[in-house]
């Protein structure tokens, strides 16, 4: 990645704080200068940041619980739809759930790229910083394991699925609720899988299966996503499969959202704002 591109995508991060030599010292790694240079050129920082012990516990436990809860929720909702003889509605819930997943991940990504800083309480470290560091070191995501990739999404998905199961128990005869829960389950799966799809889009030499899925646009296509990492750095925010990116670009959805939020005094914290985008 070029220096200019890095500066553009640096947004509000402190350059001093991210100087490679300092990163090296803080991580106490013994990579030589040449190796580090090669790593940086390939988009890696050479540093592996770790979650706090409590956050790590949440990531591990929610990732463990998620598949069981998801299976229970999908089973109950499908059984309900079958019992009410509207199982066909699953064919509608699946694409709508995938589209919603693409939209939600795009919205969260745009928000983290555009507003606040890495020093903002609560969301600064956990949400804003990872997205902005990703612009500087786009391949760091390829060094993350399953827990780091999917743990955070599971922390959000587990309470949502728990509420779904509770509502299904409260309203056993509602077909509309069963449809919405099926849709939400698909949304939960796509959201949890999104970081893996994003990781694949940055991977050097992905497997044939992954390349096939990318070609079919069932998961985020690498060259499609690359447009987000190029000037003017304000397009293609959706990172599940990017289905919605052409539409959202065409209707200038995120620029309109930024205009709308200005009415409430919210100004983009990024360098993009100063360039008049």
- Could you list the residues that contact Zn ion (CB under 5 A)? 113
Helix axis angle for 175-202 and 208-215, nearest 10°, is 120
Residue given tokens 């983009």 in the structure block = 268
Residue with Cβ nearer Zn ion (80 or 198): 198
Instruction: Indicate the SS3 state at residue 235.
Output: coil
Rounded CA gap, 148 and 159, in Å? Answer: 19
**Least Å from the CB of residue 134 to Zn ion:** 6
Closer residue to Zn ion in complex, CB, 81/201: 201
77 or 234, CB closer to Zn ion? 234
CB of 126 to Zn ion, least distance (A): 16
Cβ neighbours of 238 (radius 10 Å): 28
Both tokens of residue 206? 């992905």
Q: Which is nearer to Zn ion, 141 or 158 (CB)?
A: 141
DSSP 137-163: STTGGGG--HHHHHHHHHHHHHHHHHH
CB of 88 to Zn ion, least distance (A): 37
CB 134 within 8 A of CB 13: no
| Residue 189 Cβ vs Zn ion, minimum distance, rounded to whole Å | 21
Q: Give the shortest CB-4-to-Zn ion separation in angstroms.
A: 17
- For residue 22, give every residue at least 6 positions away whose Cβ sits within 8 Å of its Cβ, in sequence order, or none: 16
Given the complex with Zn ion, which of 102 and 113 has the nearer CB atom? 113
Measured CA to CA in angstroms, residue 223 lies from 28, 98, 127, 215, 219 at distances of 35, 20, 24, 10, 12
* In the complex, minimum distance from the CB of residue 184 to Zn ion, in angstroms, rounded to a whole number: 26
**Greatest pairwise CA separation for the chain in angstroms:** 65
- Closest to Zn ion by CB, 113 vs 118, is 113
């Amino acid at each position: 990645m070029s220096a200019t591109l890095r500066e553009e995508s640096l947004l509000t991060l402190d350059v001093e704080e991210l100087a490679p030599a300092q990163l090296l010292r803080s991580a106490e790694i013994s990579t030589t200068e040449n190796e580090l240079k090669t790593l940086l050129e390939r988009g890696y920082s050479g540093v592996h940041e770790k979650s706090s012990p409590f956050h790590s516990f949440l990531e591990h436990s929610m990732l463990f619980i998620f598949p069981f809860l998801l299976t229970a929720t999908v089973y109950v909702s499908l059984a309900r739809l079958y019992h009410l003889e509207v199982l066909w509605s699953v064919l509608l819930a699946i694409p709508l759930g995938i589209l919603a997943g693409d939209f939600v991940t795009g919205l969260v990504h745009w928000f983290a790229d555009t507003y606040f800083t890495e020093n903002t309480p609560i969301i600064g470290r956990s949400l804003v910083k990872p997205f902005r560091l990703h612009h500087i070191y786009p391949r760091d995501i390829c060094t993350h394991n399953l827990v780091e990739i999917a743990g955070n999404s599971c922390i959000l998905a587990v309470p949502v699925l728990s509420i779904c199961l509770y509502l299904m128990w409260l309203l056993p005869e509602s077909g509309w609720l069963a449809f919405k829960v099926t849709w939400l389950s698909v949304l939960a799966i796509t959201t949890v899988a999104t970081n893996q799809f994003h990781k694949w889009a940055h991977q050097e030499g992905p497997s044939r299966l992954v390349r096939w899925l990318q070609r079919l646009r069932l998961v985020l296509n690498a060259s499609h996503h690359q447009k987000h990492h190029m000037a003017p750095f304000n397009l293609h925010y959706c990172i599940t499969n990017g289905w919605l990116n052409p539409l959202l670009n065409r209707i200038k959805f995120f620029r309109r959202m930024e205009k709308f939020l200005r009415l409430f005094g919210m100004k983009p914290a990024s360098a993009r704002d100063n360039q008049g985008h």
